Amino acid sequence: MNSKLDPWGSSNIDDYSKLFDEFGILPFDDIYNNVPEPSHYMRRKIIFGHRGYDRVTEAMAEGKPFAVMSGFMPSGMVHLGHKMVMEEIIWHQKMGGDAFVGIADREAHAVRGFSWDKCREIGVEQYILSLIALGFEPSGHIYFQSESDNVKDLAFELGVKANFSELSAIYGFNGQTNVAHMVSALTQSADILQPQLGEFSGPKPTVIPVGSDQDPHIRLTRGLANSMNMFRIEKREDLKGNPYMSIRSKAAPEGALQEVAKRMPWKTKVFEGHVDVFGVDDKQKLKEIARQAELDLGGYSFLPPASTYHRFMSGLQGGKMSSSIPDSVISLTEEPKKAAKKVKRAKTGGRMTLEEQKELGGEPTNCSVYELFMFHLIDDDKELEEIHSECVEGTRMCGHCKVYAAELMSDFLTEHQELREQARDKLDEYGL
């Protein structure tokens, strides 16, 4: 596996477990039980990893504010891969999250050279109509990067904290990379942090549901979020081993540490660059006081954004799903009959002959039709389990199975496309 995950490239990640060791992504299994009413992507282990998602599950369970955010680069057809991200956003919105969707037109303009008009057209016609058709509520926020002053201003501020070496190490930028491409990386960090701005009621746990190829953005943004904050809180010990808390700051404005010290209900001692706090019996309270002080002093006090990581579907012909191989991918705007034909031609995990299939059973784990059922076409876990058992037991034959999948796909697309047309009339409800 390429050790650089390239969000603009075509990484083929075949061993997800390596991501746990190599990049510090944590297994989703560890926090699965904390999620109220897990989505089918969670139940089926399609979402396999996370960073910092425990803060989001806590907020969900306690009814506290949290947000969900993801972006789409308006570069081509909206397809089943985008549907997965959209449904993850919508699920979090239903669970009470404030939902944000950014159309990354700055990125499409910088990286693909698309005109602003073309970005707008693709953004609405492809992504936004499908997002609304899938159930995104008007209480959420859909915006174009180029039209959001919040995002553009924050991207500039983030640029103060990011340097060329750091961006190059993450994205492999070099001397030939255009500057707007670098700005677009920071613009996406601004997208991710926007839900925590004062205009949207301030710092809160925010999850970004992504494929693991997008992890570089998450790591960059978590680092930037920390660098933007005035204070860092550390647990320390004196020479006798007695614990105390130290609030440290390199970049706070003059008088900020004195202000924090004044607000602490515990004994404090102010030094240059830090204030030590003694006898703290409630660390959470200390953090909240420091956070409020920072906000009152005009700072951001960002929480590091959380993320969930999903597996990718393979292409219908096996291998990678790619828009440049039309038979490997199904677009949400595709003619239903044409899509059904693609499903009927898809690569299955079936055996060479019917006899062999009956004797050995099929291989659903190696079948793109089964993946379609699991990711998109079957809601009911029981039905999915039955298909799996029938397949491995050799009582289910690929011909019929594909016909069934093709029907479900055609029905889904027909309904989705009707809902897209209805969504067209509702764009103004979303401020578009």
CA–CA distance from 263 to each of 179, 256, 289, 292, 372 (Å)? 43, 11, 7, 10, 56
Q: Closest approach of Cβ 362 to ligand SF4, in Å?
A: 3
Residues 400-419 close enough to bind ligand SF4 by CB under 6 A: 401-402
Instruction: Give the binding range for ligand SF4 (CB under 6 A) out of 134-142, 227-235, 359-367, 412-420.
Output: 359-367
Neighbour count for residue 194 (Cβ, 10 Å): 23
Q: Give the Cα separation of 410 and 334 in Å (integer).
A: 10
Helices (H) and strands (E) in the chain, counts: 19, 11
Q: Does the protein bind ligand SF4 through residue 349 (CB under 6 A)?
A: yes
From the list 23-31, 305-313, 391-399, 422-430, the region that binds ligand SF4 by CB under 6 A is: 391-399
Chain residues 130-189 in contact with ligand SF4, contact rule CB under 6 A: none
State the sign of the Cα–Cα–Cα–Cα dihedral 39, 45, 46, 51: positive
Taking the CB of residue 344, how many other CB atoms lie within 10 A of it? 14
Q: Is 315 in the site for ligand SF4 (CB under 6 A)?
A: no
Residue with smaller CB distance to ligand SF4, 87 or 371? 371
Contact flag: residue 398 with ligand SF4 (CB under 6 A): yes
Considering the complex, what minimum distance in angstroms separates the CB of residue 328 from ligand SF4?
17
The pair of structure tokens assigned to 279 is: 């006898």
Q: Is 391 in the site for ligand SF4 (CB under 6 A)?
A: yes
Tokens of 105: 């037109």
Closest to ligand SF4 by CB, 54 or 363: 363
In the complex, what is the shortest distance from the CB of residue 371 to ligand SF4, in angstroms, rounded to a whole number?
9
Coil, strand or helix at 307: strand
Is residue 378 within the footprint of ligand SF4 (CB under 6 A)? no
Cβ closest to ligand SF4, residue 7 vs residue 362: 362
Regarding 28 and contact with ligand SF4 (CB under 6 A), the answer is no
Query: For the chain, how big is the Rg over CA atoms in Å?
Result: 24
Using the minimum distance from each CB to ligand SF4, give the nearer residue, 275 or 369. Answer: 369
Task: Choose among 331, 51, 21, 397: nearest CA to 208.
Answer: 51
Of the residues 249, 301, 348, 410, which one makes contact with ligand SF4 according to CB under 6 A: 348
Residue 364 as a binder of ligand SF4 (CB under 6 A): the answer is yes
Range 48-67, binding ligand SF4 (CB under 6 A): none
Nearer Cβ to ligand SF4 (68/406): 406
**Cα 252–chain centre separation:** 31
User: Residues 7, 213: contact at Cβ < 8 Å?
Assistant: yes
User: Least CB distance from residue 91 to ligand SF4, whole Å?
Assistant: 26
Minimum Å gap between C-beta 359 and ligand SF4 is 14
DSSP per-residue string spanning 184-243: HHHHHHHHHHGGGSGGGTS---EEEEEEGGGHHHHHHHHHHHHHH-S-EEEEEE-TTS-E
Q: CB–CB of 275/269 below 8 Å?
A: yes
Closest CB to ligand SF4 among residues 264, 387 = 387
Among residues 133, 210, 340, 369, which is the contact residue for ligand SF4, using CB under 6 A?
Answer: 369
**Contact region with ligand SF4 (CB under 6 A), list: 281-289, 334-342, 398-406, 418-426:** 398-406
Out of 193, 396, 406, 423, the only residue in the binding site for ligand SF4 (CB under 6 A) is 396
CB atoms within 10 A of CB 345: 12
CB of 398 to ligand SF4, least distance (A): 3
C-alpha to C-alpha distance for 156 and 76, rounded to whole angstroms: 28
Return the number of the residue (306 or 374) whose C-beta is nearest ligand SF4. Answer: 374
Q: Give yes or no for residue 299 binding ligand SF4 (CB under 6 A).
A: no
- Closer by beta carbon to ligand SF4, 109 or else 311: 311
The single residue among 5, 80, 101, 367 that binds ligand SF4, judged by CB under 6 A, is: 367
The CA distance from 21 to 37, in Å, is: 29
Burial class (CB in 10 A: 0-12, 13-18, 19+), 243: exposed
> What are the residues binding ligand SF4 (CB under 6 A)?
348-350, 362, 364, 367, 369-370, 387, 391, 396, 398, 401-402
